[in-house]
Amino acid sequence: MTPSIGTPIPVSDLLAGLFFQKNGEAKERMLNLSGKKYCCFVNSGTTAFFLSLLALRQNDSRTEIILPAYTAPSLILPIKSAGLTPVLCDISLTTFNMDIAKIQPLISKNTLAILAVHSFGIPVDMAALRRIASENSIYIIEDAASSFGSKIDGCYTGSLGDIGFFSFNRGKNITTFSGGCLVLDRYKWFSFISGQISELNELTLRQKFLLAAKTGGYTVAIRPVIYSIFEPMIRKFKYHHLHTSFDSFQYPKFQSNLAARVLRDETKISEQRFQNGGYLYKALFGCPSLQLPDLHPGARVVYNQFPLLLEQPAKRDQIHQKLTGAGIEATVLYPEPIHRIEDPHYLLDYPVDPDPFPNATYFSKRLLLIPTHPLVKRKELEKAAQITRKEL
Give me the helices (H) in 96-169, please. Answer: 126-136
Whether cis (ω within 30° of 0) applies to the bond prior to 344 is no
pLDDT tens digits, 361-381: 999 999 999 999 999 999 999
Mean of all residue pLDDT scores within the chain: 94
Residue 182 lies in a domain: yes
Claim to verify: residue 46 and residue 157 sit in the same structural domain: yes
pLDDT at 240: 63
Q: Which of 139, 172, 198 is the last residue of a domain?
A: 198
Residue 240 lies in a domain: no
pLDDT at 238 over 80: no
Residue 70 lies in a domain: yes
pLDDT at 112 over 90: yes
Residue 5 lies in a domain: no
pLDDT at 194: 97
Residue 343 lies in a domain: yes
Claim to verify: residue 193 and residue 298 sit in the same structural domain: no
Q: Which of 147, 174, 198 is the last residue of a domain?
A: 198
- List the single range of 114-128, 132-146, 209-223, 277-291 with lowest mean pLDDT: 209-223
Claim to verify: residue 175 and residue 62 sit in the same structural domain: yes
Residue 352's CATH number: 3.90.1150.10
Claim to verify: residue 103 and residue 17 sit in the same structural domain: yes
Mean pLDDT of 219-229: 88
Domain boundaries, position 354: 266-391
Claim to verify: residue 55 and residue 173 sit in the same structural domain: yes
Work out the pLDDT band at 239, boundaries 50, 70, 90: low
pLDDT tens digits, 288-347: 999 999 999 999 999 999 999 999 999 999 999 999 999 999 999 999 999 999 998 898
DSSP, collapsed to helix, strand or coil, labels residue 2 as: strand
Question: CA-to-CA distance for 306 and 300, rounded, in angstroms?
Answer: 14
Residue 16's CATH number: 3.40.640.10
What contacts 24+ positions apart, CB below 8 Å, involve 289-294?
289/315, 289/392, 290/388, 290/392, 291/93, 293/94, 293/95, 293/96, 293/120, 293/122, 294/94, 294/95
Claim to verify: residue 194 and residue 273 sit in the same structural domain: no
Output the CA–CA distances (angstroms, integers) from residue 380 to 195, 329, 387, in the order listed: 47, 11, 10
Claim to verify: residue 18 and residue 144 sit in the same structural domain: yes
pLDDT at 24: 82
Claim to verify: residue 75 and residue 160 sit in the same structural domain: yes
Claim to verify: residue 41 and residue 131 sit in the same structural domain: yes
Claim to verify: residue 296 and residue 377 sit in the same structural domain: yes
pLDDT at 97 over 80: yes
Residue 3 lies in a domain: no
Work out the pLDDT band at 246, boundaries 50, 70, 90: very high
pLDDT at 10 over 90: no
Q: Which of 162, 178, 198 is the last residue of a domain?
A: 198
Claim to verify: residue 31 and residue 155 sit in the same structural domain: yes
Claim to verify: residue 19 and residue 97 sit in the same structural domain: yes
Mean pLDDT of 161-186: 96
pLDDT tens digits, 46-84: 999 999 999 999 989 999 999 999 999 999 999 999 999
- φ, ψ of residue 160 to 5 degrees: the values are -105, -5
Work out the pLDDT band at 20, boundaries 50, 70, 90: confident
The rounded percent of the chain whose pLDDT value lies above 70 is 98
Question: CA-to-CA distance for 46 and 28, rounded, in angstroms?
Answer: 22
Work out the pLDDT band at 145, boundaries 50, 70, 90: very high
**Cα 261 from chain centroid?**
21
Cα Rg of the chain, angstroms: 20
Residue 84 lies in a domain: yes
Residue 220 lies in a domain: no
Q: Is residue 298 within 8 Å of residue 154, measured between CB atoms?
A: yes
| Strands (DSSP E) found in the chain | 38-42, 64-68, 85-89, 111-117, 139-143, 151-152, 155-156, 163-167, 180-184, 290-291, 299-300, 305-310, 367-371
How many separate domains does the chain show? 2
In 3D space, the residue among 264, 254, 223, 217 whose CA is nearest the CA of residue 237 turns out to be 217
List the strands of the sheet with 64-68, edge to edge. 38-42, 180-184, 163-167, 139-143, 111-117, 64-68, 85-89
Q: Is residue 272 within 8 Å of residue 278, measured between CB atoms?
A: no
**C-alpha neighbours within 13 Å on the C-beta side of residue 260:** 20
